[in-house]
Amino acid sequence: MRFSSITSGFLALVGLSNAASLTQVSNFGSNPSGARFYIYVPDRLASNPAIITAVHYCSGTANAFYTGSPYARLADTHGFIVIYPESPNSGGCWDVSSNAAYTRNSGANSHAIVNMVNWTIERYSADRNRVFLAGLSSGAMMTNVLAATYPDVFKAASAYAGVPAGCFYTGTVAGWNNTCANGQSITTQEHWAQTARNMYPGYTGARPKMMIYHGSADDIIYPRNFNETMKQWAGVLGYTYGSPRQTIANSPSAPYTKYVYGDDLVGIYGTGITHNIQINGALDLEWFGITGQPAATSSASGPTTTPVPSSTLATSVRPTSTSSAAPVETTPAGCTTPKWGQCGGQGWNGCTVCAAGSTCTFGNNWYSQCL
């Protein structure tokens, strides 16, 4: 997988000590997949600390994400622990494509990461009710998989430039799903939601709240994946995709727009932002409740009618059926697509006529939009 350009540095492997440094832990429980576990514990650790599990991008390492993301520096201020898993797979990508990855306690990378969390809770008396996830690119894919497969472990997550849980399915370990990556895995809210629910069948408890980031100029994990990921979590968390409660321009800053569905789901979409999206650690800490107020309730502005972006790119998805591609809906007779909605593309069976005032405009072979 080809993801971030962040470079990795040298990491000295040392034993656990009182000095704040990135440290490898070798024995943390069952780990058939061979994932590696690094941890950062600040010198001034809070009582019953929170945990952020920070999952690196493809080609990355624990040390690269430690040095290239803000979480360790924020931990020094706020006293939480950061877990940095490291992929054992060729190319440094996470297994978000095998059957085992989507199965609880299966021995896959996802299971190893949960065992890192459990070890940390026991070792440092960390707060089980304040365990969070943040991931970039392949790490964002893993973030969504973990949120679906272990919703009882993680309370909130931030996913940067990822794909819906299940989208990258190939049936192989750390496989590449080009259909998903290129934005061709498009399906309904309910189908996406059921794909996530199937990763923990019968579970009826609380689900993690989700904040989803993506850029409109991402040509590695195409931006259509933002829409599909938002569909998935809207369905899981009880919202209606395409009907956010608030749409806030230039939030958290230009050129981003924030789509607030409610206290449990927020999307942040950056116009002109590439796959090299920047991590907003301060906003993540607000979202997790470590600082300030939750991001979903921080603005006093009322609802708007600004539409959710219909981007032209996307990543992969695991269908709930046995077919290799997600199903599409049948085109209703005489239907029209509102401005900003999809109106065409290879495999598209939705509405092809745009509402008055907009024209169906070619984006790429798989996506045309009413503009």
**137 given a catalytic annotation:** yes
**What is the dihedral angle through the alpha carbons of 236, 242, 247, 252, rounded to the nearest 10 degrees?**
50
Cβ within 8 Å of residue 8, ≥6 positions away: 60, 61, 63, 64, 67
CA–CA dist 224, 317 (Å, integer): 12
Tokens found for residue 277: 């999206």
Cβ distance 155 to 130 under 8 Å? yes
User: Which residue in the list 110, 137, 158, 251 is annotated as catalytic?
Assistant: 137
- As a whole number of Å, the end-to-end CA separation of the chain is 33
Helix (H), strand (E) at residue 246: strand 246-249
CA–CA dist 63, 39 (Å, integer): 10
CB atoms inside a 10 Å sphere around CB 123: 14
3-state secondary structure of 24: strand
Catalytic residues: 137
